[in-house]
Structure 1
Amino acid sequence: MRTVALLALAGAASALRSAPRPSARAISRGALRPRPSALGATVDSAEIEAVLEREYASFFDPMEEKYYEDNVEFVDPFISISGVPSYKNNVDMLAGRTALGAFLFQDAGIALHGIERPSMGKLRTRWTLRVQAKFIPWQPIARFTGVSDYTLSLGGKVVKQVDYWDSVNLAESDDGSEEYVEMSKGAALKDFFDQLMNKEKPPGVASQELPYELLRRTQEYEVRRYPALLAAETKYDTRPEGFDRLGSYCGGSNEKSQKVRPFAPSVISSDEAADEKVMRWPISFAAPGQPAPTGGAPPPGSVMPSVGIAPVPEVVVAVRRFDSAATQPAVKYHTQQLKEGLRKTGLAPAEDAEGRLLFAQYDAIFSLSKRNEVWVPLAEGHPWDA
């Protein structure tokens, strides 16, 4: 199967007429902001921003070709092409609108998180792309996050687009800025191939997991936006005690004597200064952008004084996964590693994240499998701040 996957990918790359990439060099945020020139000084990008919003929402169906120069260049970690027909064929293949694309992919989509104006004649979009590989029996879903840098011509059209993947091009920076570096095609191919070979189901497929919006995926961490929710919560001394109480509530020890099916994961907060530990099981969640769940019956109240129902606001968190036991030393270690990684890639933890550990457990407390995560809320002003 690996051979089949590689042959299919090689065929796709050939069909896309990939070209040699330049040698690796750092592309810092500053480097992507050339001084305004006569070319870009008179360009009004508002119209192009509206075009990009429409195209991202429809996954370029249609691609509004009149807003692209005939010799438009497109470069990403995989390919380098030029010309409107090649550009359009690239998108149509990924969307399954070509013969090769219909064989390889399905359910492709891209979410636009925002548009920035680094300088005159320049635009930067932030996005999340997902596509399902239908030619592999387990049909894995590949997800990419990153930025696209657009250069506009004097006529106000797109003349160049350069894509950077967070999982390939985002590099650690000593000064804590967001910095992208060019990498070989092999690095991009490996990232894609590793996702194709992953048989783990995405959230919401394998079990009842709390949904989230993926904002950034790197090799070391992810950034996710979780919706506002209602959770059953309890303060506890030992973790089995917390699981037992919340399990009793969901098993029927509530005002309606009914079973409640919680969402994974169990979210545990430990405040070292206050010597307080709280376990929460999500019960219901709000629609994106809404402050609280609406519709449906509210969760039943608890008959146990130690268990309550609490609202939890929408939050953007950085996440680092680890597959060992969630002991306090392990949680502290991975939290510190995550915070260091955030600072080196232009992100900052929220102020109230200091002195507080936040982690998530997906498996039963005595399960042999260990899927655990540490979470760090981000400070305001991050790139996805609404």
Structure 2
Amino acid sequence: MGMVFGKIRVASPKFQVLNSTANYEIRHYPSLVVAEITYDPADLKGNKDGGFSILANYIGVFGKPQNTKPEKIDMTTPVLTKAAEKVDMTTPVLTKGNGEKVTMQFTLPEKYKKAEEAPEPVDERVVIKEEGEKKYGVVRFKGMATTEVVAEKTDKLKKDLEKDGFKVSGEHVLARYNPPWTLPPFRINEVMIPVE
């Protein structure tokens, strides 16, 4: 029963709330080690969440972990999704969604302080990397994180942040706290926008 409602008790990265308003929170996240996959949803039968099972297999959610140890790695939340970075000549430019590539990330448990401490993935599409500390403006919402809802939340959050004097320093990230099979009324999501 718990699985249908998505009430899985798992750890989330610790963050510090620097500022809280009626519309959003400003959070500081420490450096984290993540497992990520960048893919074109069209290659995975048009499934925008297609990266989930590949990352879940790496940590061993559904059986034997597909990493070189093999070591079962505890699941954490949220699952992060963002537009993939496209490297043009010198600077990384973030692509917008709509049929383009998507990057999905699982944050690895705190015991992994450096990327090389994490077990190596068997699937070469999975990349282990370190994400430096970051500051985000965050808004939380329930239900389905459809493209339209996410665009609306992102637009409003961006406007609220800029109105309050924050400088937006990158594209939004969608954070989802429940597995894909969770019933919509029980889903918790956040839109996170990096700020300086």
- Shorter-chain TM-score bucket reads 0.7 to 0.9
The answer to whether residue 14 in structure 2 is matched with residue 216 in structure 1 is no
**Deviation of the 1:285 alpha carbon:** 4.2
Percent identity of equivalent pairs: 28
TM score, norm. by length of structure 2: 0.77
1:280-301 CA distance string (max 9 Å, x none): 0011448xxxxx926xx81100
1:92-134 CA distance string (max 9 Å, x none): xxxxxxxxxxxxxxxxxxxxxxxxxxxxxxxxxxxxxxxxxxx
Q: Is the 8 A contact 2:73 2:109 kept in 1?
A: no
Gaps of 5+ in 1: 1-205, 287-291, 380-386
Q: Is the 8 A contact 1:212 1:225 kept in 2?
A: yes
- The one of 363, 371, 377 aligned to 2:178: 363
CA distance in 1, matches of 2:109, 2:11: 11
The answer to whether residue 113 in structure 2 is matched with residue 293 in structure 1 is yes
Number of equivalences: 163
Secondary structure at 1:239's aligned position in 2? coil
**AA matched with 1:374:** V
- The one of 231, 254, 257 aligned to 2:70: 257
Match in the other structure for 1:338: 157
Q: Is the 8 A contact 2:168 2:195 kept in 1?
A: yes
The answer to whether residue 65 in structure 2 is matched with residue 248 in structure 1 is no
Match in the other structure for 1:374: 191
**AA matched with 1:378:** V
CA distance in 2, matches of 1:308, 1:278: 11
**AA matched with 2:177:** Y
TM score, norm. by length of structure 1: 0.40
**AA matched with 1:221:** Y
Distance 1:357 1:378, change over 3 A: closer
CA distance in 1, matches of 2:24, 2:76: 22
Larger gyration radius, structure 1 or structure 2 = 1
CA distance in 1, matches of 2:117, 2:77: 19
1:67-101 CA distance string (max 9 Å, x none): xxxxxxxxxxxxxxxxxxxxxxxxxxxxxxxxxxx
Q: Is the 8 A contact 2:79 2:105 kept in 1?
A: yes
Match in the other structure for 1:272: 96
Question: Which runs of structure 1 show a deviation greater than 4 angstroms over 4 or more consecutive aligned residues?
Answer: none
**Higher RCO structure (Cα 8 Å, ≥6 apart):** 2
Match in the other structure for 1:107: none
Gaps of 5+ in 2: 1-8, 42-46, 84-94
Cα RMSD after superposing both structures: 2.0
CA distance in 2, matches of 1:246, 1:239: 14
1:360-382 CA distance string (max 9 Å, x none): 00011120211000010003xxx
CA distance in 2, matches of 1:321, 1:240: 20
Secondary structure at 1:268's aligned position in 2? strand
